[in-house]
Structure 1
């Protein structure tokens, strides 16, 4: 199981912060996101029973996408002050559980996940845990993408069959749809005036962005004019939407086998004053 660390951490933070209560240690260190992260993470472990686990993270700072398009993710607010110190602490927590933390400078967690999924799926089945639908482009016969839905313990597992059943798209076509419609969350526009519905229809009819461009004469005039006016942005948006699967990261299987060292776990959870989580993990205190 490849875990999208930031997706879980942000979800866990906002699930509790909206109530106005932030869990803290006696010394004032915020731990609400860490506490929620472990609950989400362990619920997924119990539900899907992976033998090996890796957690992937964004490093912050510039990425190759930001170099290609300076406004990439430029609309995102700064992380809340109470969340910032938890970025490093959660990595220590995962270390205590024997789960490797993987990241790569200049790349996003998605790229690390894509690279590791490509490597491991040659020999074994891979699960990806996230709330980010961008990762659906990585679905394959050996890779299932598990999307966390609203509510604790609520998941949708996507295989090539279930993805097509729900969206009438093949995994790689997720990239083409995003290239056309853009992504407000990541702050790139795609083709102005083309929304999700039209993007889906075009990709379903012509197969891909390349297929659309090869048959522009068959596209309605209003859509054709929009594509021709924003052709450069369409091609750039496709680059931004595609997860890179050749990032310089690797992890040996024996390192990521899920096997808790109970003493390490107890020590770390006691340090963070969240001893009750030991019982959740079945660790004897």
Structure 2
């Protein structure tokens, strides 16, 4: 990656917010403010962003969010994410609080109704792929398809500081395919957490072998006559779900990003921001920021 280009940290806000919520909610620790509203997810999210900034040393940053419960994928398939439990009542108010806090600290929020945070992340890295280098911070393996010579992914692993770093080279060594073909693999194996089945009876290993051999879902379908009878029957039985699963697994790159690259430039967080933090009950975060001044 060209070290001279701007380095943009692209944060999956949803992933860090959920992760931060569960890290303390398990022990019943919600860090409620004086209005009785939980702040555990918001403060954990912001502390995670600050830690990532400290490690990655970016020049620019974007925070990406889901907007609303339903997206175009729900229009395509009723069952998409239908098996996921609703967010805990203690988490619900913290979605808007986190975005308000980001704005207050000078971090630029992105998100569009009907699109997932993943689609916004992809659209940002695609828009400026020739002008910047990117580090995406997330826990979502679906994002592997975005790996590129200009884009790496830091998958959250433990605490605020331990990451599993993926580059395009590492992906190609491990999977033997281009990252762009990752949705084709997922189309065969499905994704139980997102609620789509792929092809029943084809697991991750076979799915990958098929794409390594034939290069895409469409090429496999054209080559059905070359497959063993058992595999061919499974694919023919679930052909519609196979094509639908690929659509659901493919991250969009066409979300309009209404910003110039320099709008994402990071500024120092001035001490006059701290009063707001204390007012909102973000005491742990305020103290952390003051201690690093």
- Normalising by structure 2, we get a TM-score of 0.92
What runs of 5+ residues in structure 2 fail to find an aligned partner?
1-8
Give, in whole Å, the separation in 2 of the partners of 1:284 and 1:156.
26
1:103 has 2:111 as partner: yes
1:135 has 2:150 as partner: no
Query: What is residue 150 of structure 1 aligned with on the other side?
Result: 158
Closer/same/farther in 2, CA of residues 221 and 265 from structure 1, 3 Å limit: farther
Query: What is residue 182 of structure 1 aligned with on the other side?
Result: 190
Give, in whole Å, the separation in 1 of the partners of 2:96 and 2:137.
20
Closer/same/farther in 2, CA of residues 238 and 284 from structure 1, 3 Å limit: closer
Give, in whole Å, the separation in 1 of the partners of 2:153 and 2:160.
17
Give, in whole Å, the separation in 2 of the partners of 1:4 and 1:222.
40
The answer (yes or no) to whether the contact 2:21–2:40 under 8 Å persists in 1 is yes
Give, in whole Å, the separation in 2 of the partners of 1:164 and 1:254.
32
What runs of 5+ residues in structure 1 fail to find an aligned partner?
none
Give, in whole Å, the separation in 1 of the partners of 2:175 and 2:54.
28
Closer/same/farther in 2, CA of residues 284 and 166 from structure 1, 3 Å limit: closer
Alpha-carbon shift at residue 21 of structure 1 (Å): 1.9
Pairing partner for 2:222 from 211, 214, 217? 214
How large is the Cα RMSD of the aligned pairs?
A: 1.6
Query: What is residue 205 of structure 1 aligned with on the other side?
Result: 213
Closer/same/farther in 2, CA of residues 263 and 161 from structure 1, 3 Å limit: same
The answer (yes or no) to whether the contact 2:43–2:284 under 8 Å persists in 1 is no
Pairing partner for 2:121 from 107, 113, 116? 113
Pairing partner for 2:170 from 150, 159, 162? 162
Query: What is residue 126 of structure 1 aligned with on the other side?
Result: 134
The answer (yes or no) to whether the contact 1:4–1:113 under 8 Å persists in 2 is yes
Closer/same/farther in 2, CA of residues 284 and 15 from structure 1, 3 Å limit: closer
Which string of whole-angstrom CA distances, capped at 9 and with x for unpartnered residues, describes residues 221-273 of structure 1? 11110001111110111011001101122322232111134145312321223
Query: What is residue 61 of structure 1 aligned with on the other side?
Result: 69
Query: What is residue 90 of structure 1 aligned with on the other side?
Result: 98
Alpha-carbon shift at residue 283 of structure 1 (Å): 6.7
- Normalising by structure 1, we get a TM-score of 0.95
1:247 has 2:260 as partner: no
Query: What is residue 6 of structure 2 aligned with on the other side?
Result: none
Greater Cα shift, 61-70 or 238-247: 61-70
Pairing partner for 1:76 from 78, 84, 102? 84
Closer/same/farther in 2, CA of residues 213 and 284 from structure 1, 3 Å limit: closer
Which string of whole-angstrom CA distances, capped at 9 and with x for unpartnered residues, describes residues 7-30 of structure 1? 000000001111122211122110
Alpha-carbon shift at residue 195 of structure 1 (Å): 1.2
Query: What is residue 40 of structure 1 aligned with on the other side?
Result: 48
